[in-house]
Structure 1
Amino acid sequence: MIRYILLAPRWRKVWADLWGNKLRTALVVLSISVGVFAVGMVYSSYLMFQRDLAISWAAASPASASLYADPFDEELAESVRSLRGVKEAEGRRNVNLRVRTAGDQWRQMMLIAIPDYAKQKVNIVRPQSGAWPPGDGDALLERSSLAELGVAQGEPILVETAAGRKRWLKVTGTVYDPSQFPSKFSGSAYGYINMDTLEKLDETRQLDQVNLVVQPGILQGKDTAPIKAVGRKAWSKLEQGDTTVSWLQVNTPGEHLMQGVINALLLLLAVLGALSLLLGALLLVNTISSILTQQVRQLGIMKSIGARRDQILRMYLTLVGAYGILALVVAAPLGALAASGVTGFMSEMFNFESGGLELPLRVILVEMAVALLVPLAAALWPVWCGTGITVREALNDYGISGVEARGRVDIWVDAALERLKGLPRPVLLSLRNTFRRKGRLALTLLTLTVAGTVFMAVFSVRASLYSTLDQAMEYFHYDMAVEFAQSYRVNRIEQEVFRVPGIKAAEPWGRSAGRVLQDVRKESEAEASQNVFILAPPADTGMIHPQMLQGRWLLPEDESALVINTEVLKDNPHLQVGGPAVVMVGPRKLQFTVVGIAQGILAGPIVYAPYEWMAGAVQETGRARTVQIITNSADPQTQSVVGRALEEHMKQNSLRVKNVTITWQQKERIRSQFAIITIFLLIMAVLLAVVGALGLTGTMGINVLERTREIGVMRAVGASSLDIGKVFVVEALCIGVLSWLAGALLALPVAALLSHQVGVLFMQNPLAFSFSFLGVGIWLGLSTALSALASLLPAWNAARLSVRDVLSYQ
């Protein structure tokens, strides 16, 4: 108490403003805290991601490139290590099969056999718990697959081999393999076995994948061209060993597999932080205006006894600085906790190891700058204007007296209200009061409008993601596709397919993998040509309906014709309709003429060739590697049952099935991936909505203070507490509806821009834009609800004022 008395009067007033009105202090601190929290969370998350991803990825000694081929002997993998530019090379075997989950459902699983777990040097798999290495007949589950299968360590799992035999494997531990896409994304579970277990799964003791690391000296930053060049040499080396290479996967040096997706999510979080900071600053401007509005007469008294403008300015800026320090104390630890939560969620989702909570000094310094400099900058103008009032103006202020209808907006509002005389008087008063302080209204509307625009745009992005997915799935008008481990005669495939009940139509297709060359020269084979999938459907197929952008689709009389999709065109800009295309399939260089370009969506680089010609070119005439099927039922569960029965029937009849893809399941899996994006966007929208609601609460609190004497006049002429409260509630609802209208108008262009950017960030292609009217409707409901809630406390305070209280108001 003694220390308080010893303070100079101006600083005692600062303390009184901080402590005397705790609700107002909490509102100001909260408004600053929102921006500090968002910036701290985003920056901390970014630093934690960079730290954790780098550590997890580097610890795995990741491959520079991986080649996938038909089974080959271990000696061939060893020969790749001897190539110039290769530092390390190791082989693996991948076995695709089905596994029964704890829910008695069958799903896809990949079992990976590593020749020597003790000597791993590339894409290192590390033990997490249980036995190490896997014993004969045992399996170690990748940690991201444990929850997906619903099994625990020590329990057996039932798998079904490509030959149709069922085998039990015991789960004896868990491992961590950063080189695998998380099970949530790939839709496949991962297990690790030894080479002896291959024979129990009806597989040969051979490899089908080579992971290689290039010499550091040939790397050129993030450029993948040197890695591709070495990868082509390894490709040729494997093909010289009489095996067919199907794919070359090249990794960007030093980047995690999911780095692109994570960077895109971080960018969305950064936008969230910037918007939250902006809206927090606008909210602070309104709140500081509130304080100055309440203390206009105090300003006049201070000036009348000799206070200079610069002294008053320093006093109020000190008050703002105190608010900033309190906000920093609140927001800094919350931002660190939120960043730790976000990082933990992302590490689980994207399968990297989280290093836990950390609050680096640089984050604290940035938060201090945001907590102090941004509020001071935001408050400077309203404080400067507020302290410029003269003594006479200040002492004559009664809140309402200084507000007169002068502008066109006021004239329009008065004219509109003249036509609405049938409305209750409190409602008319609310409508008029809404436009009384147009500057304050503009700031409040801006805050709510930005929040509403982002909210509605998020729903449109969600709708665009699903629309893009629907378009991608519409390409393929079949219910399921069966891929075989080798080619089989077409008539045999069709005969076995139609023996399964529920099948309506079936089309066997050719399928290969190759790479697009610049030309037919020998030198082109070693250049950085691109991988492509080659699909060879019948020319008159009814199971694929691509969206043609240029040229035409395949015709029955076509021979060496080729249709490419836009994904192929991005990597091979030299291809054009009417021009030549050279595709290398195994040792063969196939020469085509490009007859059309189709839109590629979520499908990867695909080229389409006529079945008859393609089958002859790769010496598989009358044979196919896949079959596309339409069932008699549109029910998803029925299709799953038919798919399972079809797979079992094929295996029982000695057709080795590599994979069965059911269209609706694939669609749901991609939807779940999209859900991660929409969750982050919705977090952004909800946080901005909270900021907007806080801004409206502050505005309504200011209005109550300004109209204290007006409330007294209403009380004196018989207005009830309900009527007075209704004035402020209706006014808040008007502001909410106005912000909804403005947001709805802005939502269309913002949603189109956001959808385009999200598509480019996550899929390297703009999304098929679809505007969500559902989002517009939901925000209308939310904005009115938030407006009503934001007005309740100010309306309650106004309704409790008595005539004696308001007439004694100073």
Structure 2
Amino acid sequence: MISYTLWGPRWRKVLADLWGNKLRTLLVVLSITVGVFAVGMVYSAYLMFERDLDASWRSAVPASASLYADPFDQELVDSVRSLRGVKEAEGRRNVDLRVRTAGGEWRQMFLTAIPDYSRQKVNRIKSQTGAWPPGDGDVLLERSSLAELGVAQGGNIQVETSDGHKRTLKITGTVYDPSQIPSMFSGRSYGYISMDTLEKLDEERRLDQVNFVVEPWVLKGKDTAPIEAVGRRAWSKLEQGDTTVFWLQVNKPGEHQLQSIMNALILLLTVLGILSLLLGTFLLVNTIAAILTQQIRQVGIMKAIGARRDQILRMYLTMVGVYGVLALVIAAPLGALAASMVTGFMAQVFNFDSGGLELPGKVLLLEAVAALGVPALAAVWPVWRGTGITVREAISDYGIGSADTQGRLDRWIDRLLERLKNVSRPALLSLRNTFRKKGRLALTLLTLTIAGTVFMAVFTVRSSLYSTLDEALDYFRYDISVGFTENYRAARIEHEVLRVPGVKAAEAWGFTSGRILQSERKEAEDDASKNVIILAPPVGSKMIQPQLIAGRWLVPEDESALVVNTETLKDSPRLTVGSPAIIKIGTRKLTFTVVGIAKSTMTGPLAYAPYSWFSGAIQEAGGARSVQITAAAANPQEQTELGRRLEEHLKKNNLRVQNVDITWEQKQRIRSQFDILIVFLLLMAILLAIVGALGLMGTMGINVLERTREIGIMRAIGASSSTIGRIFVVEALCIGVLSWLFSLVLALPVAALLSYEVGVMFMQSPLTFSFSFWGVGIWLVVSVLLSVAASLIPARNAARLSVREVLGYE
């Protein structure tokens, strides 16, 4: 081992500076560590996402597209498989029913029957534990549903069929379905049964979903248009088999269906991670500048005995390098561990297999650049400026950090302070000292201001997300929606619903799906838009409140009138008020006149037609497939109980119920999905706040060192320890409050921009902007607490200085 005494004088000085002020070294290392940790964690998590999500998704042989329709036979699946461009096609049957959880609650469940589990070729599910395949009367639960139901393998679940019969299914195993949206997002549980079990659930032994994979030559990169073209031909095949198709779901080639959400989340975290790194460098710049100011005489002495500027420059940059190395040693393993935890959490949320802890070489390289390169670049200017002093200037310095040159700002502050007659002298000194080193103050304020701005912006994004959700659900002004497996007479539905105590009002609506055509030509069917859902509420309905941006709403004298939402216009931009709209519904082509355009609110492509005319046009006069209900009680729990009573009553009266959706439950489920995003953004905002607090602590520590002689003078004229300590605490509070004010000014535009980008990334449309004043108030409290906490150690150090110590200070 090389002895300390054998080191060169310059390197012994570097070590002495690092070890001699351990608090300063710790603050700088921690500030760099936070930034390096954030960058490493985000990049490592991104690589793990990319690795694990892609592997899980590809293992399922995901469908290029899926069609959902009324029940049909295997022959139609074979006809889809025979289409040009289709490589493979398979059919399934889905049953939407109620399941009783371990806690006694009734929730929606999706049971899927697969004709042959041993020959799956599309959207393959994989056995995890227990039996394979499911036997007659058995169910295999999707692994993401176990926690939702609170059950375990070997137990039983009780389900209620659309006819109202209760059946018990034995849980004989668990499976993994990478193509399924996790239960946390969908609000439904998933299970897999045999075709034989369908009969026990009062369902036909038929199919209602076809998944197909296109030939490789069909694909054109990530473009979904070629798949949509094949999907429209498959849609026509099913319609020729006398079945009604409701939906065409197209997947982007080679991409998980939730990939865009995760990519957007990673992008936001990356921006905040880079911000953390940059803010950490501000503390480093402040610290290096203060060290050089404090060591001006030492620089002069080194130059006097022959040291060159480049040698002194290397010495201080080496110190910066040591800070970076220490930060890298701490941040690299912590970043990998945090990335593994984040990936594990996201794997559970988004239902994919996590590959576990990994620290790739390129992540370590990026962290090394962040820990060594960025701080070194940031320190070059203050080091270059500090080492440029001449021997004469250095020797004549008194060792006290002089204030910046008096300028207009200083004179204005002095005049303002002179008017504060009732403020104590120590408080006035704190206020004046706040602006003493304006360059250092600017960097400290910048750090805290960015942290505060991001914090307030995150709260505003949360508020905007909730406002968008409230606006979307307020669009449809009902408390409960009941869907049926087939059409029933509207009068019968409403009569039965109104018989249930607690129902205030009920409206039966028509419902179907179609495709908007470019023209009436036969060839136009292959050029049709994506599917559009058509709702037919009674004219004058009080249960829908569309926000019209052009034209008008439906009126009683309307016949072939149509109102489309803005989401529909994305696929059919030629539709305007007054233009014709040709929609293919089943084998029929109906010509409408667009009379209005409504704003989309998280609903997808929708069109609205007058019930009386529309139900006759599709030969379902007087029929309906859903009913919207307003509850007499506003209490959420009472509405849930009403939904259950409605379901039981309708089933007892031979109405086959497919689903019952409670509006407030939907709102809570979607909010919980939003909260995942908010939690991640808040975690990064907290990291920024930590960097800001470290920066403020470092600034206050430097201020104490520079004002050592001033503290001695105050001591000599009788100032107490508590008075000196309060001077620095109040100064930190001034900086904290100033940063809060600047954050408040910047938060509005930044929050508006962030809300817009989050809306576009996650919902394909801007959020309804709602500024959060809660965020403003919370950050004020946080700023005060951070300022006090950051000033305690420097204030304590200042208060403990004795007159003898400060008079001997150089």
SS at match of 2:484: strand
The AA in structure 2 aligned to 1:425 is R
CA contact (8 A) 2:401 2:707 kept: no
Match in the other structure for 1:326: 326
Match in the other structure for 1:130: 130
Unmatched 5+ stretches in structure 1: none
Match in the other structure for 1:601: 601
SS at match of 1:158: strand
After TM superposition, list the pairs within 5 Å mapping 1:544-559 onto structure 2: 544-559=544-559
Match in the other structure for 1:226: 226
Measure how far apart 1:53 and its partner are.
1.1
Measure how far apart 1:225 and its partner are.
1.1
After TM superposition, list the pairs within 5 Å mapping 1:728-767 onto structure 2: 728-767=728-767
Measure how far apart 1:235 and its partner are.
1.1
Measure how far apart 1:751 and its partner are.
0.4
Does residue 200 of structure 2 align to residue 197 of structure 1? no
Q: 1:680 & 1:80 partners in 2: Cα distance?
A: 43
> Which stretch of the first structure deviates more once superposed, 72-81 or 718-727?
72-81
Match in the other structure for 1:724: 724
After TM superposition, list the pairs within 5 Å mapping 1:343-742 onto structure 2: 343-400=343-400, 402-403=402-403, 406-742=406-742
CA contact (8 A) 1:578 1:593 kept: yes
Measure how far apart 1:529 and its partner are.
2.0
Match in the other structure for 1:88: 88
Measure how far apart 1:241 and its partner are.
1.6
After TM superposition, list the pairs within 5 Å mapping 1:767-778 onto structure 2: 767-778=767-778
Q: 1:618 & 1:552 partners in 2: Cα distance?
A: 24
Q: 1:386 & 1:786 partners in 2: Cα distance?
A: 31
Q: 1:687 & 1:122 partners in 2: Cα distance?
A: 44
Cα 1:243–1:401, aligned 2, differ >3 Å: closer, same or farther?
closer
TM-score (normalised: structure 2): 0.99
CA contact (8 A) 2:297 2:399 kept: no
Q: 1:267 & 1:685 partners in 2: Cα distance?
A: 15
Match in the other structure for 2:242: 242
Q: 2:710 & 2:351 partners in 1: Cα distance?
A: 62
> Which stretch of the first structure deviates more once superposed, 648-657 or 680-689?
680-689
Measure how far apart 1:610 and its partner are.
0.3
The AA in structure 1 aligned to 2:391 is V
Measure how far apart 1:397 and its partner are.
3.1
CA contact (8 A) 2:222 2:252 kept: yes
SS at match of 1:511: strand
Q: Deviations over 1:507-542 (max 9, x none)?
A: 111000111111111111112521111000011111
CA contact (8 A) 2:401 2:706 kept: no
The AA in structure 1 aligned to 2:437 is R
After TM superposition, list the pairs within 5 Å mapping 1:28-47 onto structure 2: 28-47=28-47
CA contact (8 A) 2:57 2:256 kept: yes
Q: 2:129 & 2:375 partners in 1: Cα distance?
A: 51
Match in the other structure for 1:341: 341
CA contact (8 A) 2:404 2:437 kept: no
Q: Deviations over 1:117-152 (max 9, x none)?
A: 110000000011111111111111111111011111
The AA in structure 2 aligned to 1:82 is S
Match in the other structure for 2:259: 259
The AA in structure 1 aligned to 2:397 is D
CA contact (8 A) 1:633 1:639 kept: yes
Match in the other structure for 2:782: 782
Q: 1:651 & 1:738 partners in 2: Cα distance?
A: 64
Measure how far apart 1:46 and its partner are.
1.0
SS at match of 1:534: strand
Q: 1:127 & 1:788 partners in 2: Cα distance?
A: 56
Measure how far apart 1:400 and its partner are.
4.3
Q: Deviations over 1:413-467 (max 9, x none)?
A: 1111101132111111100100000000000000000000000111111110111
CA contact (8 A) 1:398 1:706 kept: no
The AA in structure 2 aligned to 1:164 is G
CA contact (8 A) 1:562 1:607 kept: yes
Unmatched 5+ stretches in structure 2: none
SS at match of 1:359: coil
CA contact (8 A) 1:139 1:193 kept: yes
CA contact (8 A) 1:536 1:610 kept: yes
Q: 1:212 & 1:238 partners in 2: Cα distance?
A: 13
CA contact (8 A) 1:293 1:702 kept: no
Q: 1:441 & 1:392 partners in 2: Cα distance?
A: 29
The AA in structure 2 aligned to 1:635 is N
Q: 2:307 & 2:803 partners in 1: Cα distance?
A: 33
Measure how far apart 1:372 and its partner are.
1.2
SS at match of 1:520: coil
After TM superposition, list the pairs within 5 Å mapping 1:199-214 onto structure 2: 199-214=199-214
The AA in structure 1 aligned to 2:371 is A
Measure how far apart 1:82 and its partner are.
1.5
Q: Deviations over 1:132-186 (max 9, x none)?
A: 1111111111111110111111111110000000000111111110111111111
The AA in structure 2 aligned to 1:179 is S
Q: 1:167 & 1:52 partners in 2: Cα distance?
A: 38
TM-score (normalised: structure 1): 0.99
Measure how far apart 1:6 and its partner are.
1.2
Q: 2:396 & 2:2 partners in 1: Cα distance?
A: 36
Cα 1:167–1:378, aligned 2, differ >3 Å: closer, same or farther?
same
The AA in structure 1 aligned to 2:278 is L
SS at match of 1:482: strand
SS at match of 2:683: helix
SS at match of 1:504: strand
Q: 2:404 & 2:782 partners in 1: Cα distance?
A: 33
Measure how far apart 1:39 and its partner are.
1.3
Q: Deviations over 1:357-414 (max 9, x none)?
A: 1111111111111111101100001111111223333334345463265101110111
The AA in structure 1 aligned to 2:472 is A
> Which stretch of the first structure deviates more once superposed, 401-410 or 194-203?
401-410
Q: Deviations over 1:2-36 (max 9, x none)?
A: 62111111111112122222222211211211221
Cα 1:142–1:307, aligned 2, differ >3 Å: closer, same or farther?
same
SS at match of 1:596: strand
Q: 2:602 & 2:717 partners in 1: Cα distance?
A: 69
Q: 1:550 & 1:345 partners in 2: Cα distance?
A: 44
Q: 1:281 & 1:605 partners in 2: Cα distance?
A: 48
CA contact (8 A) 1:233 1:526 kept: yes
The AA in structure 1 aligned to 2:549 is L
SS at match of 1:762: helix
Q: 1:403 & 1:639 partners in 2: Cα distance?
A: 68
The AA in structure 1 aligned to 2:752 is A
Q: 1:252 & 1:89 partners in 2: Cα distance?
A: 17
Q: 1:476 & 1:779 partners in 2: Cα distance?
A: 36
